[in-house]
A and B are shown apart, each in its own frame.
Chain A
Amino acid sequence: MAEVILRQLTKHFGSVEAVEDVTLRIPDGEFLVLLGPSGCGKSTILRLIAGLEDATRGEILIDGELINFKDPTKRNVAMVFQNYALYPHMTVYKNVAFPLETARMAREEVAEAVQRAAEMLEIEALLKRLPEQLSGGQRQRVALARAIVRQPLVFLMDEPLSNLDAQLRLQTRLELMGLHERLGITTIYVTHDQVEAMTMGQRIAVMRDGRIQQMGDPTEVYDVPANTFVATFLGAPPMNLVGGSLERRNGQTYFRVEGYELAVDPAVSGIAPYVLAEASGEAQLGVRPEHLTLAPPDAEGLPGVVRFLEPVGSDLFVSVMVAGHAVQVRMPPDTRVSTGSDVRLVFDPARSHIFGADSQNLRS
């Protein structure tokens, strides 16, 4: 168990900036999720902490100790790889025992520790099998057992669920959370799956192009995204963005889009008055599909035309064209609406966001 600190961590591969100036503090026992699209540098951070790559700049500390120059064999971190990386010629028992045997632990102690790990992950019956005789889910468990068997300071997990089918992924997700609760080991979990991130992470760090875009607990990141990237990366379907402009008249700021004007009130929108006073020019209005409602054309709201209807059973997703943007609206499944009809989109301004020309949320 340990606290992990990254300070201005930077990694360049030639001219490619994989990780750029990342500073993070992961308290002891936390489950942190690094979330981002592929190539955003999240796996590179794991590999830097593990010592599989050397940092170009910056510091990595575990429990206050600088480990930049410590050999990976001595860092006492365990990693679960995306493809599990089990040793194909060794039985499950040998695979799990390998790190302990490498540490020259006595044979009886090894057997005991392997047994404990196997019980925890319910793979006792598989101990004599070879990896090729296991299913994907079983391999995953063996990889986890190998990681927990030597009680590492930090767990690093690199998309461990991505090779499992949907059903198994759901189940394993819950088991991983249970495991973390039981062991309390500081865990850094990398994924590009926003559902995994939302459900598993105590905190989420959303990454893009090697930089952290936003860091916070899942609801915070979901409710108040720092910029348009985070807003559209989290949530399915993502947050709707409608392009328009900000205008200031008589001490009041308005968001204007073709045929519609929204008065932005600092008290309601959560935007600081001084920020609002400064803001002008291009901007985007962001509202999540679940915060929009369809209203008749004579109501007050964003005007649009219904294009598609997507009933998914539990909900009805209505695609509405608003000033050239497709906007998704989540409605109850029994909503009566037909394509081609004129509608107005109504929403609570308190749940809407204004993103400035630099794509940043004016609230933050």
Chain B
Amino acid sequence: MAGDVTPDPPALEEVPATDEISDADAMAERLAEAGRAKRASDRTRKILAYVVLSLFVVIAIGPAFYLISPAFRDSVSLFTYPPEWIPSEPTLENYRFLFSSTSYVRWAINTLIFAGSTTLLTLVTNSMAGYAFARLRFPGRNVLFFVVLATLMVPVAAVLAPTYLTVNTIGDWPIIGNWIDIDTYLGLILPSAVSPLGVFMMRQFIETLPDGLYEAARLDGAGEWRIFTRIVLPLIKPALVVLGIFVFMLTWASYLWPLVAATDNEFRVLTVGIASLKGQFVTDWGILAAASLLTIVPVTIVFLFFQKWFVQASMAGALKQ
């Protein structure tokens, strides 16, 4: 009976004997085998991942790519059948037409003035407002901040008419009306020069700066303005760049406000200008494509140039003081 109770000794065969383990060749062989298996499974996984990712790439940049082909073809060849993806006779005719027969250059300059000034002004106003909300103690601060945030929920279209009326009314005032009116640069720029989202973003960023910095600066004799310009602004540079790019791209592509605020061709911006190329009965798609392509290029360059800042700014919270 006692023999039945005794458990079987463990199967020794499956465990490599000591001398086998110390055998360098056997060990190398085992490692190589395991390595091969791992590499093979890694490869399959990678291929799968690339297939899926490629699909998303096609979805994402497909439409933009679709713009390139017609931009270099004359309009007649656009409607050949079967459709031709790579133009057999590429041409710059569309561009020649854009520059010679439309106000494309004027629109581009206007857009640059519009987007550039809006961006600069937004950075100034939003960083100052953000600083005030983050650092200064004044009555009604929280209520005011809530009001600023609440404007985020108001759709652009809803404030379009009031904004238009405001600017139009100011335009009737003496002296100042010469500068701010419908069909003036200031009238176009000023209503877009503050962004509640930007104020929020600046406030959040400035609040992350340690209190010790402000206190040290105050004891070093610095007033609010000096603290703002010498301590805060340099430290929130990444956030400023991100907000700047954000506002620049949004303004560059904005359509609704410029459409109503700049009716005169002299003040028209690219988006509105391009739309005006679309005829009521006939539309030259080649020219439209060329104009659109040309319009995208500057923002793309700006973005590529500053994209590392995006990463930095989003990392900022993770850094130690």
Contacts and interface: CB of A to CB of B under 8 A. Distances in A.
Contacts of B231: 87
A102 B216 CA distance: 12
Interface string A83-98: 1111111000000001
A77 interface: yes
Contacts of B216: 79, 81, 85-87, 146
Contacts, number: 58
A73 interface: yes
Given A83-B321, A88-B235, A89-B235, A73 B213 contact: no
A81 B214 CA distance: 12
Contacts of A83: 210, 212, 321
Contacts of A238: none
A169 B221 CA distance: 29
A72 B218 contact: yes
Nearest to B222: A102
Contacts of B219: 50-52, 72-73, 75, 77-79
B13 to A, nearest CB: 55
Interface string A54-88: 00000000000000000011110111010111111
Contact of B215 (A85, A103, A150): A85
A102 B213 contact: no
A115 to B, nearest CB: 18
A207 B196 CA distance: 47
Q: Give the bracket for the number of chain A residues in contact with chain B.
A: 20 to 34
B223 interface: yes
Contacts of A73: 218-223
Contact of B221 (A81, A88, A99): A99
Contacts of B215: 50, 52, 79, 81, 85
A101 B95 CA distance: 55
Contacts of A102: 220-222, 226
Nearest to A77: B219
B234 interface: yes
Contacts of B218: 51-52, 72-73
A52 B214 CA distance: 10
Contacts of B212: 81, 83-85
A185 to B, nearest CB: 15
A19 to B, nearest CB: 18
Nearest to A147: B219
A289 to B, nearest CB: 39
Interface string A10-50: 00000000000000000000000000000000000000001
B205 to A, nearest CB: 14
A86 B235 CA distance: 12
B130 to A, nearest CB: 18
A85 B210 contact: yes
A51 B219 CA distance: 8
A85 B213 contact: yes
A84 B213 CA distance: 9
A311 B213 CA distance: 46
B107 to A, nearest CB: 40
B235 A98 contact: no
Contacts of B321: 83, 88
Nearest to A98: B220
Contacts of B213: 85, 87
Interface in B142-199: none
B86 to A, nearest CB: 51
A78 B220 CA distance: 7
Nearest to B215: A52
A86 B210 CA distance: 11
Contacts of A103: 221
Contacts of A84: 212
Interface of B: 210, 212-213, 215-223, 226, 230-231, 234-235, 321
- 9 closest pairs, A vs B, by CB? A85-B212, A99-B220, A85-B216, A102-B221, A89-B234, A73-B221, A72-B218, A102-B222, A81-B212
18 contacts: A52-B215, A72-B219, A73-B222, A78-B219, A79-B215, A81-B212, A81-B215, A85-B212, A85-B213, A86-B216, A87-B216, A88-B235, A98-B217, A98-B230, A99-B221, A102-B220, A102-B221, A146-B216
Given A99-B221, A150-B220, 13 more contacts: A73-B218, A73-B222, A73-B223, A81-B216, A83-B212, A83-B321, A85-B210, A85-B212, A85-B215, A88-B235, A89-B235, A98-B230, A103-B221
